Amino acid sequence: MKKKLLLLTIAVLCFATLASADSFVFFGSRAAQNPTDIIDWGQLGNLGGVVSTPQTVSTFNGNLALVGNINGGGFVPSQEGFNWFGGFDYGESLVWTGNANFAIGGGGPFAILLANPVGSFGFNIEADLIAPFTVTVAAYDSSMNLLLTYTFNGIYGCGFGNGCVSFTGIGDTTGGNIAEILISTNSPSDSTFANDFAINDPSFTYGAVVTPEPNSLLLMGSGLLGLAGVIRRKMAH
């Protein structure tokens, strides 16, 4: 599985095959995604210290994933209010990619390679530099076919420890096909901070994502608040 990290790097640099048959929906919040599984970055330990790429982690339900910077540089298990001071909820567990000047060659893009493909994923993200930035998320299937590339503007300078950072959630309505996720950022005002960002615990669902009927959205949203609270508390410890 560790060889797949190198293969993913090659796929990003080359023209990937686009699996156009897949159809996607987007979620603006964790509650809207309605996750059933999550990676708790706290399992990496060494809070504030450098860990090598790649690292094997496990989701809450026991599914394995390989994670790390695709350039092979180390990254840092972090926590809002300890060694990251930004807009995540206070106490949230994070991973920070570092940057080009980092001690052992850190800096993203950051890859998450899942042993068991998922139907959706979601996470919050914040750049290290308090300045405008963009986020690009690419999703691949288990055969390295590019399923989707999505770019959006991140939120920056929104306060400390109050959960105001950007969330992105993406779901595949055709099945649980997402096996690899690649996350990158661009900070035009200072190239040193390109691909220098932190994300919180990524959450997942399995199988095809069902798009709810419009008249059921309000009821579903209120019903998911309890689960969202459980996930939030999990991420905070």
Helices (H) and strands (E) in the chain, counts: 4, 14
**Cα separation of 83 and 80, whole Å?**
7
Largest CA distance in the chain: 52
Q: What is the pLDDT along the chain (237 residues), one digit of tens a residue?
A: 554 554 444 444 343 444 446 799 999 999 999 999 999 999 999 999 999 999 999 999 999 999 999 999 999 999 999 999 999 999 999 999 987 666 555 789 999 999 999 999 999 999 999 999 999 999 999 999 999 999 999 999 999 999 999 999 999 999 999 999 999 999 888 877 889 999 999 999 999 998 755 433 333 343 444 444 444 454 444
One-letter amino acid at 96 equals: W
**Token pair 């008249």 in the structure block, residue:** 215
SS3 162: coil
Q: In whole angstroms, what is the distance from residue 208 CA to residue 172 CA? A: 6
What are the residue boundaries of the structural domains of the chain, listed by start? 3-235
- CA 65 to chain CA centroid, nearest Å: 12
How confident is the model at residue 102, as a pLDDT? 60
Spatial distance between the Cα atoms of 68 and 176, rounded to a whole number of angstroms: 22
Domain spanning 3-235, CATH architecture: Sandwich (2.60)
Q: Dihedral sign, CA of 81, 86, 92, 95?
A: negative
DSSP letter for 41, please.
G
Phi-psi region of 107 (alpha: psi -120 to 50; beta: other; left: phi over 0): left
Q: What is the pLDDT of residue 186?
A: 94
Q: What gap in Å lies between CA 179 and CA 116, rounded to an integer?
A: 7
Phi-psi domain of 31 (left: phi exceeds 0; alpha: psi -120 through 50; beta: other): alpha
